[in-house]
Amino acid sequence: MLSNKVVVRYKNGAVLKGITTDFNPEKPVFHIQIKTGEKVNLREVRIEHLKAVFFVKTYEGNRDYEEKKCFDGPTSGGIKIKIFFIDGEMLVGTTNGYKPDKTGFWFFPADRGSNNVRVFIVNSAVKGVKIGIDADR
């Protein structure tokens, strides 16, 4: 079973960091294994409460790194997208299928130096989007 390092951000600002082996955007619930010392706790997570699920390289990231919020070269495919969240955060990258009537969509950061490998964005946490050439503005 494939395990993924994730940082889960809730709409209310709460954050969970751990490993998931059962994330499926088509299902309303998945689980995160959270390690505290020697103990591992399993936490149920409901997608409807989330802002996004960040699939990350490391849990710590690099606090000194400022992620680029623009396209500075060719993309690796997909449609360019700029996402504005209800909490004020903005992400720039690509997607293979933005559908606002669905639960969410997959996002891939434009900045290859990002700690995020990919992100599942929950549509109910999105305030607005710019797609295609509009995402460059």
Domain spans of the chain, in order of start:
4-59+67-136
DSSP letter (8 states) at residue 14: -
Mean of the pLDDT values across residues 37-41? 92
- The whole-model pTM stands at 0.93
What is the Cα–Cα distance from 51 to 83, expressed in whole angstroms? 12
Is the predicted pLDDT of residue 14 greater than 70, yes or no?
A: yes
- Judge residue 15's burial from the number of C-beta atoms within 10 Å of its C-beta, 0-12 exposed, 13-18 middle, 19 or more buried: exposed
What confidence score (pLDDT) does residue 74 get? 67
Strands of the sheet containing 116-122, edge to edge, are 39-46, 29-36, 15-20, 4-10, 50-56, 116-122, 104-109, 90-95, 79-85, 126-131
Where does the pLDDT of residue 127 fall: very low under 50, low under 70, confident under 90, or very high at 90 and above?
very high
Which residue is it, tokens 């607005």?
128
Is the predicted pLDDT of residue 75 greater than 80, yes or no?
A: no
End-to-end CA distance of the chain: 41
HEC readout, 59-81: CCCCCCCCCCCCCCCCCCCCEEE
Where does the pLDDT of residue 1 fall: very low under 50, low under 70, confident under 90, or very high at 90 and above?
low
Q: Strand pairing of 90-95 and 116-122?
A: unpaired
What confidence score (pLDDT) does residue 12 get? 97
* Across 6-20, 67-81, 89-103, 117-131, least confident range: 67-81
Is the predicted pLDDT of residue 102 greater than 90, yes or no?
A: yes
What is the Cα–Cα distance from 53 to 121, expressed in whole angstroms? 7
